[in-house]
Amino acid sequence: MKVNVLAGAVFILVCQMALAAPPKKLFDVALEDMKGGGRVLNIGFYGKLPPPNIVDKILRESLSHAILIDPTMDIVATAFLGNDTLNSKQYSGTLIYNASQKKVMTFDEYSGVKRTTSSHSGYFLEVKEDKTLNGIKPERKWLSVTIVFAKEPSRSAAYDAIFIETQKLATRGLDVNAYVSIGDQKVETSWVQMQDTDGGYIFAEYNAATKKISRKGQLLKQFP
């Protein structure tokens, strides 16, 4: 009798909660077949987004479950907030499961982007060797450089770092896009681009053919 009374009380409490506050969707997971082969895994969040490390964990674990369904299928896994794809400050980016290699990769790894990092006096350096997507001709390669300071440097120190690192990389004979960010070197989602005095960002473009560094068409430095 006591068990029946307790069960009845619980049922009444659940009904009261349902009437007082209708269920609110926090996130959902959808796995769909793509035309032409492979599958798409979409994680859709609603309302307040969890911290980036939690989003990354949910995406990676959801992808692991999707792989179990059929490990012979390639899968592209992406996260959204409503209808908008999350940006680089909200999570670490799209994941790719390559069935032939049985490996989960970042989009950069899948695209063949080579990434190197190093620590220097006062800042952290990330260099990516980017290239046009597979199938695009003619193929083009360039370097994307991010200089990460733990605390905001002076404007002159930021550009000096760009000039120093670009000059080192100029020997590779590739164009360079260089940016300065502020954040924790170990947490890429914390990196925030440093603003310049004109309201834009501190960055520079190096043209390997002319050996000129410019920003918005304005010459900043000419290498010999």
> Is the separation of the CB atoms in 133 and 159 below 8 Å?
no
**Residue 2 host element (H or E):** helix 2-20
Q: Which two tokens stand for residue 15?
A: 């009904």
Q: Which two tokens stand for residue 214?
A: 């410019």
Domain residues of the chain, as ranges? 24-110, 114-222
Global pTM value: 0.79
Q: How many Å apart are CA 106 and CA 186, to the nearest integer?
A: 17
pLDDT in 10s for each residue of the chain, 224 residues: 444 555 555 555 555 555 556 667 899 999 999 988 999 999 999 989 999 999 999 999 999 999 999 999 999 999 999 999 999 999 999 999 999 999 999 999 988 889 999 999 899 999 999 887 777 778 889 999 999 999 999 999 999 999 999 999 999 999 999 999 999 999 999 999 999 999 999 999 999 999 999 999 999 999 99
The residues pairing with 61 across neighbouring beta strands, listed in sequence order, are none
How far is CA 81 from each of CA 33, 42, 47, 100, rounded to the nearest angstrom?
21, 11, 8, 31
> Is the separation of the CB atoms in 52 and 88 below 8 Å?
no
